[in-house]
Structure 1
């Protein structure tokens, strides 16, 4: 590990030297690449430098204890020694986590699909609430939400909703949200006051660039139709809605959120690329079954991951057995405690697997 850290420190200093060259800003691609590398290396290099300083502090404190007879100074040296040793342990764990292989998709924007499952209108109403939860969370992190496709049920619920969140690290935070979300509550339409259980599915997909997915436009069939919905200028008056069919996979995507047929076509292609990329990632995961076992669930749509229980005001994430009694704040977009716990559990599992090797 320390040989690798030394190599990263040398590379970091090389990058910093290149960034100070007078002509580097003239080459935009090179400048952007170096800035990205510098940003990626900085946390691990800073931790390693602090680690080396703590090791030096331990040596200095031990030397003082050997040479010094004054009790006050010896007590001070012991305090510094204990503090440095404790920090070394923390830094060793931090550096191991920072050295874990990084998911290449972590910095990407995400496309989110929410679909109502079992429970009819109640499931659709819950799907709309989960959509709002993610939008509130995104706004708190200054990510930009953008609706791609929406199919409503007429009473404020969403049968299906596809939207995009644009912002730094969106996938790294939200990739653990894929799966089945379950709600337990008394529906407004229930006269007997019985608690019903309904489900929705959430799929989190990294936005795929053209370099990630080779898309043959001859495999794509586009149909245009008149948009339906809540009215408004241009809706129901022009053939602006687009239905995209990917012939080899049978994937069908409808998009009618924009007034422009061209913009709807562009959004549909974004969703198609993301779905094809997700299929490719799923194949890789299946091929690396052992690696997948060491991860907290990050993609299986059939996995029941979380329950939102309204009578008890609690949210339970089943993968890490975490229960929070603050349902309202979670639905209001306060997801960091859950997501941070999922990330920590995933890192711990990967560290344990690395230590076995």
Structure 2
């Protein structure tokens, strides 16, 4: 990891820690606007700060495993740890780089999902119903709420069209 990225992540981790302490201060708790703003920023920074902490722990573990490579009795076990931790570090670094990308202002908005059966008669209607069930289950697994706004069934048991509103955190971002 380059120094610029490490410094940025260190600043974020320090800010997250600072906000955690600030949220415990009585003067902040009494001021609802300040408390709400600090709470939101703290929640926004949490995933990055936690991922950076995992990265630092993996880095320490890798350094320890490399030291154990010199011991002939521990060499095989240490080699397994080096391989595992090297892969983990790569994944965490990619995750951290993605987390630092600027957020789209629309990411927090809700989504209107429209599914219409195309040309194909009953098969298309059945496929549209399968799509609706798939998106509904996906939304439920993510903790989002899906609410049908318009529903038109086909004669064979499928759907001619369905329009639904998906509400939740980062729905549009997905």
TM-score (norm 1): 0.39
Q: 1:152 to 1:52 in 2, by over 3 A?
A: closer
The CA distance in 2 between the partners of 1:6 and 1:152, in whole Å, is 55
Tell me, which stretches of 5 or more residues in structure 2 are unaligned?
Answer: none
Deviations along 1:273-315, one digit per CA (max 9) or x if unpaired, are xxxxxxxxxxxxxxxxxxxxxxxxxxxxxxxxxxxxxxxxxxx
Corresponding residue of 1:34:
38
Q: Of 14, 20, 38, which residue of structure 2 is paired with 1:16?
A: 20
- Kindly indicate which of the two structures has a greater share of residues assigned to helix: 2
Answering whether residue 46 of structure 2 is matched by residue 45 of structure 1, we say: no
Counterpart mapping for 1:206-285 below 5 A:
none
Number of matched pairs: 170
Higher RCO, 1 or 2 (CA under 8 Å, sep at least 6)?
A: 2
User: In terms of Rg, which structure is larger?
Assistant: 1
The CA distance in 2 between the partners of 1:75 and 1:42, in whole Å, is 36
Corresponding residue of 1:112:
113
Answering whether residue 134 of structure 2 is matched by residue 133 of structure 1, we say: yes
Corresponding residue of 1:167:
168
Deviations along 1:219-238, one digit per CA (max 9) or x if unpaired, are xxxxxxxxxxxxxxxxxxxx
Deviations along 1:162-204, one digit per CA (max 9) or x if unpaired, are 111223343344xxxxxxxxxxxxxxxxxxxxxxxxxxxxxxx
Corresponding residue of 1:97:
98
- Report the 3-state secondary structure (helix = DSSP H, G, I; strand = E; otherwise coil) of the residue aligned with 2:73: helix
- Kindly indicate which of the two structures has a greater share of residues assigned to strand: 1
Tell me, which stretches of 5 or more residues in structure 1 are unaligned?
Answer: 174-357
**1:9 deviation in Å?**
1.7
Corresponding residue of 1:87:
88
Q: 1:162 to 1:27 in 2, by over 3 A?
A: farther
The CA distance in 1 between the partners of 2:101 and 2:35, in whole Å, is 26
TM-score (norm 2): 0.71
Q: 1:118 to 1:5 in 2, by over 3 A?
A: same
**1:76 deviation in Å?**
6.1
Deviations along 1:227-279, one digit per CA (max 9) or x if unpaired, are xxxxxxxxxxxxxxxxxxxxxxxxxxxxxxxxxxxxxxxxxxxxxxxxxxxxx
Quote the RMSD (CA, aligned, Å).
3.3
The CA distance in 1 between the partners of 2:109 and 2:19, in whole Å, is 23
Corresponding residue of 1:7:
11
**1:5 deviation in Å?**
1.2
Q: 1:148 to 1:40 in 2, by over 3 A?
A: same
